[in-house]
Amino acid sequence: MTECPECARLRSESASAFSEYTARKDDLATTRKTDNSFATKRRAFEQAQGRHRECHKREQYHRVEAHSGYGSSAESSSVTEEFSRLRECLDIGDADNVQRAIFDLSPIHNGWATVPDEVVERLLTLLRSDEMYSSRLAGHVLNYFEFEAPRLSADQKSLCIGFLKAHGDKFTGVHSRQVVAELREGKYLASPNP
C-alpha cells in the first residue's frame, strides 16, 4: 500500500522540523549564557521546538482523521527493522538518518497510543555501551526520551531515570551531556501527580 501524498508531506515537514530543532539545540548548547547571542539563539531554539511540536500534532491529527487503522503491522515497519536501520546509521556515523530512524520509532508515526516497552528497553540497551558513551550521535538517541516523554508510562520513565543515574555521567559529547542534563533536571521524566 502506498503512502498518501498528505502523509508524505507531513512526514517530510516533521522530519525537517526535527532536524532544525536538533541543530538549534546544538547551537544553543555550545553558546555561553553570557554570550551576546545567547538570547537570540534561545528564541530560535524555542521557535524550532514549537514548530516541531506543531508538525507532530498536524501529522497525528491527519492520521487519526484520514486513516483509521493506521499502524497495523502491514503498514508499519517492525521495531526490529527500525532498530537494524538505526544501528546501521550509527555504525556509519550518519546523523541525518539516525534522526530519521529515531523519528520513525515515534508512536505518532507508527499509530501507537504509547511507546512500547520494547522500544524503550532496546534504546536503553543500545545506549549502554562504551561506543555510545563517546559517540557524537548518542544525543540524538537520547532526544527520543524528550520528544516521546508524554507517551512514556510511569514504569518506562522510572527505567529511564535509573539508566540516567547509572550511566548518564559516562556520555562525553556536548549534545549528549546536554540532553542527559535536561532529562535529569527537566520535567520530561517526572510522573504527573495523581
The number of folded domains in the chain is 1
- Determine the pLDDT at residue 3: 61
- Determine the pLDDT at residue 69: 43
- Determine the pLDDT at residue 88: 92
In a domain, 22, yes or no: yes
Residue 77, pLDDT > 60, answer no
- Determine the pLDDT at residue 76: 42
Residue 75, pLDDT > 70, answer no
Residue 139, pLDDT > 50, answer yes
In a domain, 76, yes or no: no
Q: Where are the alpha helices (DSSP H) in 67-190?
A: 79-92, 95-104, 107-110, 117-127, 130-133, 138-147, 154-167, 174-185
In a domain, 112, yes or no: no
The amino acid at residue 93 is G
In a domain, 12, yes or no: yes
Q: What is the three-class DSSP state of 33?
A: coil
In a domain, 125, yes or no: no
The boundaries of the domain holding residue 54 are 1-70
Q: pLDDT digits over 3-53, tens only?
A: 678 877 888 888 888 889 888 988 888 989 899 999 999 999 999 988 888
What's the rounded Cα separation, in Å, for the pair 34 and 42?
A: 12
